[in-house]
Amino acid sequence: MVSIGLGLVLLLCLVSVALGWRRLLSIGFASLIVLAVLFPGGIATRLMLSALQDPVARRDAPPWCDRNTLILLGGGSLVVPRDGVEPSVFGLARIETAARAYRACKETEAVCTLLVAGGDPAARGRSEAEVYGEHLAALGVPPADLLLETRSRNTFENARLTRETLDESDMGQPYLITSATHMRRADLYFRHFGIGAQWLPANYVESIFWPPNLGLNLALADAAAHEYLGLIRYRVYNALDWNPPPIPVVEAPCR
């Protein structure tokens, strides 16, 4: 999204050169420099990421209850030659966090269920839930404690279909596992469907000021902008009554 904005400003500069519009060229060129410093340069990118990640980082580690459901959200997949469909880099970080959290939960002798939510939005041929579930099984999570939600194509559907998959009386305390940048939006969507989960962030990212990594900073700015757009879109859809009616969150005591 940020990269699209930079591309449009660059296009404006090229059109101004072709048509001889010097004043517009000056404005466009100055805007291009400012945007390049703020986003590929890493300054604005760092601020955008901090606003998303800092509230997540300040949360204390949640306690385990007698009955717990860990909800792992898919983070993408890719086709690897000869190896088939594999989790993305973000997906691997979430899987590792989920496996550690599951082991910590089981050490308390509590009931621990791990639900993996993710369909096949990129048409890889296999759902993210299936691919992630195999990796979790290889890391020691028994199939009896795994639930797979294989139909969702985005975070809002993750929340809606997770609500349908889980019987509320058997859910116990829900825990949400996703990337730190994604946690606020995911939590907002899940609360819309009555799931008030504890946060278990999987991975944090940051921009690099010096030596500036222009490609990385721009990619992170795009990722952060996607999260902010999702937060705004949710509120717009609510105002227009395009979202289904929200379900009240019932905060059950941790027993």
Q: 106 burial class (0-12, 13-18, 19+ CB within 10 angstroms)?
A: middle
Q: Is 234 left (phi over 0), alpha (psi -120 to 50) or beta?
A: alpha
Tokens representing 33 are 């420099």
pTM, whole model, 2 decimals? 0.87
Residue ranges for the chain with pLDDT beneath 50: 6, 8-9, 12-13, 25, 29
Residue ranges of E strands in the chain:
67-73, 77-80, 84-87, 111-117, 146-149, 173-178, 198-201
pLDDT score for 29: 43
For each of the domains in the chain, give its residue range(s) and CATH number, in order of start.
63-205 (3.40.50.620)
In this structure, the dihedral spanned by the alpha carbons of residues 99, 46, 212 and 6, taken in order and rounded to 10 degrees, is 110
Q: Which of 133, 87, 127, 96 is nearest to 114 (CA)?
A: 133
Q: What is the pLDDT of residues 174-233, one digit of tens each?
A: 999 999 999 999 999 999 999 999 999 999 998 887 666 777 877 888 898 899 999 999
- Residues in Cβ contact with 29 at an 8 Å cutoff, skipping those fewer than 6 apart: 13
